Amino acid sequence: MGLIVKQDGQRSQLRDRVAAELREKAQRTSLDEGAKTDFVEDSVHQRDMKQTTSLAGAWVALFVLVAVAILIVFLTLR
In contact, 31 and 22? CB cutoff 8 Å: no
Q: For 33-64, how does the pLDDT look when each residue is reduced to its tens digit (9 = 90+)?
A: 555 555 665 666 666 777 878 898 999 999 99
In contact, 12 and 6? CB cutoff 8 Å: yes
Q: Is the pTM of this model over 0.75?
A: no
Q: What whole-number distance in Å separates Cα of residue 67 and Cα of residue 60?
A: 11
Q: CA Rg, the chain, in Å?
A: 29
**Which residue type occupies 55?**
L
**Residue with the larger pLDDT of the pair 78 and 40:** 78
